[in-house]
Structure 1
Amino acid sequence: MTNKIIDINESTIKNCIESLRPESIEIRKQIDIGYSYDSKNVILFEIRPDWSNSKEKKQIEFAKIRYYKSRKEWNLYWMRASGKWEIYEPFPESTYLEKIVEIIKEDKHSCFFG
């Protein structure tokens, strides 16, 4: 029997992603939400068919959450049209990942979901 360490942060992100994904399997074929996680960086992205080849899928990043161990806080970034990450204002940092996730879901300034 192997012991597996449960990462509470990844669990929080996984729950966030599940709440953002379309319910319908048919819609998920056209647009879905995914993430990558490496203990200090989380990238959220849309998964869509490529416009020039519908059999290929593209991952379009829209949010980045980064943990700064020295400050013990999470910062939130959004992807500008230029392809560069920019700190999300007015609430860019928190010691609680759940608060950052709620800001993404709320999307008051239409930075994440248009």
Structure 2
Amino acid sequence: MAISEFEIKRTESELEKYLAKNRPPAHLRHQVDIGYRISGQSVELFEIRPHWKAVDSKIETPVAKATFVKTKGYWKVFWMQQDLKWHRYDSNPEVSRIEDFLQIVSEDEHSCFFG
């Protein structure tokens, strides 16, 4: 089941606050930037860089993901490992609010998200 329209708007608002606080300065964004997408009941944060061969095209590298479990009322937290698969973030596998997920990613205590 997808996130409701109200929850999407609230989540987008929190994600925009996160980006405003954590994006690189404007003069560096052509080299590295961060973004997000909401798909179904999941939110994905990714890093954006120029393709190493074709500088005009961009590469999005997934960094963190949270999936909302509506029946339980919490977000499951994931990080992308070297095998390019999502793995549960064992230090804090579930959070009750999207803000908590974004706080975990910001702190990156174990260097799982942005290295």
**Do they fold alike, i.e. is TM over 0.5?**
yes
Unaligned runs of 5+ in 1: none
- With normalisation by structure 1, the TM-score equals 0.89
Which residue is 2:60 aligned to? Answer: 59
Which residue is 2:3 aligned to? Answer: none
| One-letter code aligned to 1:103 | I
Q: Looking at CA atoms only, which structure, 1 or 2, has the larger radius of gyration?
A: 1
Unaligned runs of 5+ in 2: 1-5
CA apart distance, 1:26? 2.1
Residue-pair matches, total: 110
Q: Deviations over 1:19-72 (max 9, x none)?
A: 11012x221000000000136210100110001111111111111111001111
- With normalisation by structure 2, the TM-score equals 0.89
SS at match of 2:12: helix
Task: Supply the distance in 2 between the matched residues of 1:22 and 1:41 (Cα, whole angstroms).
Answer: 24
Which residue is 2:108 aligned to? Answer: 107
Structure 1 consecutive aligned stretches of length 4 or more whose deviation exceeds 6 Å: none
Task: Supply the distance in 1 between the matched residues of 2:16 and 2:76 (Cα, whole angstroms).
Answer: 18
Question: Percent of counterpart pairs with the same letter?
Answer: 38
| One-letter code aligned to 2:56 | K
Which residue is 1:80 aligned to? Answer: 81
Task: Supply the distance in 2 between the matched residues of 1:107 and 1:8 (Cα, whole angstroms).
Answer: 23
CA apart distance, 1:18? 2.0
Task: Supply the distance in 2 between the matched residues of 1:58 and 1:90 (Cα, whole angstroms).
Answer: 28
| One-letter code aligned to 2:109 | K
1:19 paired to 2:21: yes
SS at match of 1:30: coil
Task: Supply the distance in 2 between the matched residues of 1:15 and 1:39 (Cα, whole angstroms).
Answer: 21
SS at match of 2:67: strand
